[in-house]
Structure 1
C-alpha cells in the first residue's frame, strides 16, 4: 500500500499533492451520489486546506482569528446592517 501524504499545509504552503489525494478520497466516498463530481470533491478538499491554513496561521499569530464582537444592543446591530432603519426608531420621543 502506498504511503499517503494527508498534511494539507506544510511550512505555511499548500500541499497540492495532499489536496488532490483528499479530493480523490472524497470522490470515492461519495460515488453513490450522481451530482457529486470531481469538481465538488476538489472544492471540498480546498475548503479543508483553507481551514488548515487558518489553523496554521493562528498558531503564530493568535489575533489572526479574532472576529469583531457583535453589538450588545439588538437595535444598534440592526442599524449597522441596514442604515435606513435609523429613522424608524420605536421610541415615543
Structure 2
C-alpha cells in the first residue's frame, strides 16, 4: 500500500477523498481474493474512518476520556447502575 498523506478525519468531518483512496488501496492489496469486492473494501475503509472519528472525539471532549473507576463492592456497583435497588435502613428507630 502506498504511503498517503491524507487524513481520514479533518476538523471533525470525514475526508471522503481519503476514504475512497484507502478503499482503492485495499482493492489493489487484496486483488488475489476473488470474494473481496470494492464494496468490501469501501466498507473496511469506512470502518477505519469511523474509528478515527472516535479517536478525534476522544481527543476533543474530556467526557469521552473520563471513565468511571471500577468499584470493588458489587452491591455498590449495582446501586450505581440502578438506584431503585438502594436498601434503606431497616432499623426500628
- Structure 2 unaligned segments of length 5 or more: list them: 75-93
Equivalent position of 2:23 in the other structure = 23
Length, aligned pairs only: 74
- The whole-number CA distance in structure 2 between the counterparts of 1:14 and 1:39 is 18
The structure richer in helix per residue is 1
Once the two structures are TM-superposed, the CA of residue 5 in structure 1 deviates from its matched residue by: 4.4
Q: Indicate yes or no: 2:57 matched with 1:57.
A: yes
Give the stretch that moved more between structures: 20-29 or 58-67: 58-67
Q: For the Cα contact (< 8 Å) 1:8–1:52, is it kept in 2? A: yes
Listed as ranges, the gaps of 5+ residues in structure 1 are: 74-93
The structure-2 alpha-carbon separation of the partners of 1:6 and 1:68, relative to structure 1 and needing over 3 Å to count, comes to same
Question: If the length of structure 1 is used for normalisation, what is the TM-score?
Answer: 0.65
**How far is 1:61 from its partner?**
1.3
Higher Cα Rg: structure 1 or 2? 2
User: Normalization by structure 2: what TM-score?
Assistant: 0.65
Give the superposed CA RMSD. Answer: 2.7
Shift in Å, 1:67: 6.8
Contact 1:6 1:22 survives alignment (8 Å): no
